[in-house]
Copies of this chain bind each other. A is one copy, B any other.
Amino acid sequence: MTIVVENQAEVAECGCFLNAWLWFKQLVKNFMVKVVDNAISAKKLGKEDPRIIVHSLKVGFAITLVSLFYYFEPKFEYQGFGVSAMWAVLTVVVVFEFTVGATLGRAVNRAIATFLGASVAGGIHRLACFSGSKTIEPILLGFFLFLIVAVVTYLRFLPKLKARYDYGVLVFILTFSLVSVSGYHDKQVLEMAETRITTILIGCDIAVLVCIFICPVWAGQQLHDKISSNFEKIGSFLEVFGTDYLNTSSGEASEQKTSDLEGYKSVLNSKTAEEVLANFARWEPRHGKFRYRHPWGRYLEIGGIARDCAFRIHALNDYLNYETQVEQEIRTKIQEPCKKVSTECGHVLKELALAMKTMTYPHTITIHIDNAKIAAENLKTLLHTNSSWEGINFSDVIPMATVASLLIEIVSSSVKMVESFDKLATSARFKKTNQLAPVRVRTNSWKTRVTPDQPSTESVHHDVAGE
């Protein structure tokens, strides 16, 4: 019996070990799967955007470069650098961003805010020293610390300040606190502030120089490309919608078509990204075809109109996989002008995308926009003509009519985009290969609309209400 019991105990122990071993094996396996997954997505990331790899190498290079100051300090005989050298390293790490604009913005913010913060802290330290009393001095310093930090933290929430100077305000609070706190103890406030500013300037310089002179990524260029690709996506949808969906209702969608039809969705939520890029771009110096004061605000305006158009397309998209019981007769009747409107608008947007990319005035856009307007006009006439619809089931026509009226809306959106593009092209001095004729739409005479989405494009809207 004893043997059996011992055996049982052994078996139980064995089972325990086995379980633990299995659990451990599973854990390792799960971990490995996660690692492999991440490695795959990391590899994919680098393939999709090789600039990320370059950026990583640049950051590594900049930090190694700034660390040389520290390594060979005795050789450089840089007086008083000592511990403060870490500020240079720290500055490079926090200032170096993906785009030049972001890096420059942070560098300028950091440099100026450090100077201001240190100055104010120095001033207050002097003020507190006047009291002469060992008891009052720390109380005064503490009071000022609390007051200024609270007030500046409050100001951080002002939208105007937040958009461009948020990092600067943070660094101001940081420097001010550090200098005024250590000032009480060390009695060498000015000296410390001075070294801090010098080292931070060195860090900023290195970060900015490396960022600009080694394969720079410009936020302005990114914004420019983004707006262009948004046009492209909306254009692709309209082209596919026109040629494919409105032609045959059989849903034989290829992969390319699906991606063309889904592309516009990223435009719906593009607002924040565009605003961030525009804010960065404003810091950038002249580069390539972009001046220092390139009209980035216009990009936001035109981006807003494109987004508005995407909202309409989203409503249109509801009717894409719409299995109709509508007779072929109605389909044929309303199909041609709808198809024309959709494809012509698609052409307009694709040409806008190309013109944007090459920064030229588009060649044939007036033709396409005129065609789109004429097609919209035809569509409208068709809808107006009672005789066309005699004997036809009213309810059969409704969804088609909805598609038609959404398409007419999209024509007016396209016209707005062309007008906004014209303004942008004028102020950004795009190359004139062909004059862009002034565009005016008369498609929506049967209703006066107000589309109050983009407050900045009101002037555009007035022209469009038309007739």
Query: In angstroms, how far is the closest chain B Cβ from the Cβ of A430?
Result: 28
Among A57, A71, A386, A399, find the residue whose CB has the most chain B CB atoms closer than 10 A: A71
Question: A147 an interface residue at 8 Å Cβ cutoff?
Answer: yes
Q: How far is the CA of A321 from the CA of B449 in the complex (A)?
A: 6
Counted per complex, copies of this chain come to 2
Tell me, in angstroms, the Cα distance from A381 to B151 when the chains sit together. Answer: 63
Can you show 26 pairs from A to B with CB atoms below 8 A apart?
Answer: A41-B158, A42-B158, A52-B157, A59-B150, A60-B145, A60-B150, A61-B146, A63-B146, A64-B145, A67-B145, A67-B181, A83-B83, A85-B182, A86-B182, A89-B178, A93-B170, A93-B173, A262-B452, A265-B453, A269-B269, A271-B272, A322-B448, A324-B447, A389-B394, A398-B405, A402-B402
Interface residue count on the A side (C-beta < 8 Å): 99
Question: Which of A52, A141, A323, A402: most chain B CB closer than 10 A?
Answer: A402
With A and B bound together, what is the CA distance between A353 and B28 in angstroms?
A: 46
Is A327 among interface residues, defined by CB-CB distance under 8 A? no
Q: Cβ of A214 < 8 Å from any Cβ of B?
A: no
Closest Cβ neighbor of A391 among chain B residues = B386
Known: A181-B86, A395-B384, A405-B402. A46 touches B154 (CB 8 A): yes
Q: Which residues of A contact B (CB under 8 A)?
A: 38, 41-42, 45-46, 52-53, 55-57, 59-61, 63-64, 67-68, 70-71, 73, 83, 85-86, 89-90, 93-94, 138, 141-142, 145-147, 149-151, 153-155, 157-160, 170, 173-174, 177-178, 181-182, 184-185, 262, 265, 268-269, 271-272, 308, 311-312, 314-315, 317-325, 380, 383-386, 388-389, 393-395, 397-399, 401-402, 404-406, 409, 446-453
Complex interface: chain B residues within 8 A of A45 (CB): 154, 157-158
Closest to A87 in B: B178
Residue of B nearest to A181 (CB): B67
When the two chains form the complex, which single residue of B64, B154, B453 contacts A314, counting CB atoms closer than 8 Å? B453
Q: Once bound together, how far apart are the Cα atoms of A398 and B334, in whole Å?
A: 13
State the CA gap A182–B83 with chains docked (Å).
Answer: 8
The secondary structure that dominates the A interface is: helix
- Given A70-B182, A86-B181, A262-B452, 19 new contacts (CB under 8 A): A52-B154, A63-B149, A67-B142, A70-B181, A71-B184, A71-B185, A85-B181, A85-B182, A90-B177, A90-B178, A94-B174, A268-B311, A269-B269, A318-B451, A320-B450, A323-B448, A384-B394, A388-B394, A399-B447
